[in-house]
Amino acid sequence: MGYRLSNEKFNKLLDGLKGEYKIYAPIRFPKRGRFSDTDLIRYGEINKVEDVVWIEKSNYSPKEIVFPITQTLFYFTEDEFKESMVHNKKILIFLRPCDINGMRRLDTIFLNNGPIKDVYYERLREKVKFVMMECKDGFENCFCVSTNSNYTQDYSIAVRFTSNEVFCELKDESFQQFFSNLGTEMNFKPEYIEENSVKVQLPEVDKITTEFFNHDMWKEYSKRCIGCGRCNMACITCSCFTNSDIAYEENPNAGERRRVWAGCHIDKFTDMAGGHSFRQDYSSRMRFKTMHKIYDYKKRFGEHMCVGCGRCDDICPEYISFSNCINKVSKTLKEDESNAQ
């Protein structure tokens, strides 16, 4: 079923939803961007449709809603472990098809990797419903069509924003009550992007051997990458974290155990006591991340991890292009194969 709502009516809809839901969408933080005078676009709670930044790509993904940058696991008072609490509202997220597909990768790691579920992820994730923002044209650096993540049917509502009205497709009956009396019924189906200007050739998984890990093609990244980890932070599918404890300064007998985002490009990721460490060279970190996104995750779970959102390319201060890197992997493998023949 579809509806056509003026922005004003859509805001009434949001008002109605707010009682039950925390509503998240990409929003603008003026002058907080990568370069002076640019804005930062990241996820936050919205009040009205005008808050939603839908004509640009967000710099950061919606993962922080279900996997917060910093999350308290336990509070300590002396020897007691008290679990942190979570708000009691449901969650509605406005996001594009690539990110919905990316969310499934996060689900795979947090809920299905190994026999034990991550309950801190699950307790937020099970509250979530998706509002898919139609994405017909994509943006700079996107390559979702190549990674097969331009399309999804996993949403409750799909929306097309225009300057003054919103077209909605309603799939989830439970939202019907919020729409009644608001807009005019119509037939609306979202459209999907069919071609990006950036295309990647994903390597065939069985063509990659561990010898390839030491291939010369990685060398250029040892100088170019500075190990800042911005690509990890922006990525919808990067899911690593580190647990650590803190004692409160004002009361050292109390404190908390928390987890914080971690990234495989950043120093200390593999450090062990006694000075042991792996992947000290930045090129091996680039190789490690790349292989995870387009090789080993697929070996383990049957689909590629990368969903082609291109945020890693957008954010890299050294202008390292991940799509170029993927294409280089495929090209190098082909060349090596034909040389061997």
Binding site for other proteins (CB under 8 A): 73-74, 76, 78-81, 83, 109-110, 113-114, 116-121, 123, 210, 213-214, 239-247, 252-255, 257, 259, 262, 264, 269-274, 276, 278-279, 284, 288, 291-292, 296-297, 299-300
Name the binder of 292 from other proteins, ligand FAD, ligand SF4, none, CB < 5-8 A by kind. Answer: other proteins
Under 8 Å between Cβ of 196 and 144? yes
Helix axes 322-340, 282-291, angle to 10 degrees: 90
By beta-carbon proximity to ligand SF4, the closer residue of 183 and 310 is 310
Residue 264 engages ligand SF4 in binding (rule: CB under 6 A): no
Smallest distance from the beta carbon of 99 to other proteins, in angstroms? 20
By beta-carbon proximity to ligand FAD, the closer residue of 120 and 269 is 269
Smallest distance from the beta carbon of 7 to ligand SF4, in angstroms? 30
Q: Which of 5, 8, 12, 42 is nearest to 25 (CA)?
A: 42
Smallest distance from the beta carbon of 284 to other proteins, in angstroms? 8
Smallest distance from the beta carbon of 82 to ligand FAD, in angstroms? 22
By beta-carbon proximity to ligand FAD, the closer residue of 12 and 257 is 257
Looking up tokens 């947090």, which residue turns up? 110
Strand order through the sheet with 2-6: 40-45, 21-29, 90-95, 128-133, 157-161, 165-170, 2-6, 184-186
By beta-carbon proximity to other proteins, the closer residue of 9 and 230 is 230
Kindly state the greatest CA–CA separation across the chain: 69
Euclidean distance between CA atoms 46 and 48, whole angstroms = 6
Q: Enumerate binding residues for ligand FAD (CB under 6 A).
A: 271-273
Smallest distance from the beta carbon of 147 to ligand SF4, in angstroms? 7
Token pair of 50 as six digits = 């005008």
Smallest distance from the beta carbon of 22 to other proteins, in angstroms? 20
From the CA atom positions of the chain, what is the Rg in Å?
Answer: 22
Euclidean distance between CA atoms 113 and 276, whole angstroms = 27
Q: Which of 333, 261, 320, 241 is nearest to 294 (CA)?
A: 333
Residues that bind ligand SF4 (CB under 6 A): 102, 225-231, 234-237, 265, 293, 306-312, 315-318, 320, 322
